[in-house]
Amino acid sequence: MDGVVQPGTAPFWIALLTVAGLGIVELVSVLLGGSASGLIDDGLGHHGHHVPDHSEAGLLGGWMSWLNAGGVPILVLAVILLSAFAAAGFAIQAMWTNMTGGPMPLFAAMTGAVAAAIPVTRWGSNGISKIIPRDETSVVEQADFIGLIGIVTLGPLDQGNPGTVRVKDLHDNIHTLRACAAPGHVIQTGAQVLIVDGAKGLFQAIPAPPELDNSHTENHGG
């Protein structure tokens, strides 16, 4: 083990293993029909791809707005940050060892790695957001979504924790809404729903009536 984990590099190996773990968690969640990224974003109040709710700043505050320049999901941001931290840490220790014959003190190496990782994360977030598919985020009034048909992408929807519904607005922009089922309904993932109410960034949905369901299918090519 000592031959793999060189002195002064343990935190950077831990960061790499965490990145691998996050990837596995997301893969498993997708195979199970959900999204760890979406659940984490909802839990932390980070709704960069959801309908704007200007009354809530979110748990992460202003520093997240700066770091998350491109509006990528929290899980992607964590992978960028941890990867940059690990790469910078290994590079710092390698250069220091080549110059002095021994590792840099761990606290100093970690401080340098963090200082390097933060701007790299901002730059990487901005770049990745331009090449990965994402929803449109143009500002739309919450009332404009009432009466629209959507598809449950994270469910089932009930009266407990919110799931997510993808809808297309009148301008053909795609939005992901946090939603619960209206009282008396349980709606499975993949079902079409009608948005019937909403307040403070959370919507209520019911199963789409057959006549609206059929009309929606025809208008969107199946």
- pLDDT tens across 24-70, in order? 876 776 566 555 555 555 544 444 444 444 334 444 444 555 566 44
pLDDT bucket at 220, cuts 50 / 70 / 90: very low
Distance CA 186, CA 166 (A): 17
Q: Read off the tokens for 40.
A: 């984490």
pLDDT given at position 7: 74
* Mean pLDDT, range 64-84, rounded to an integer: 72
What band does 218 get if pLDDT is binned at 50, 70 and 90?
very low
Q: Helices 106-129 and 10-31 sit at what angle, rounded to 10 degrees?
A: 30
- Which residue type does 204 have? Q
pLDDT greater at residue 8 or residue 85: 85
For residues 126 and 34, give the distance between their C-alpha atoms in angstroms, rounded to a whole number.
25
3-state secondary structure of 182: coil
Exposed / middle / buried, residue 188 (Cβ in 10 Å: 0-12, 13-18, 19+): exposed
Closest CA to 40 of 31, 49, 206: 49
Q: pTM for the complete prediction?
A: 0.51
pLDDT value of residue 33: 57
Question: At residue 85, does pLDDT exceed 80?
Answer: yes
More reliable by pLDDT, 147 or 56:
147
Phi/psi for 72 (5° steps) reads -85, 160
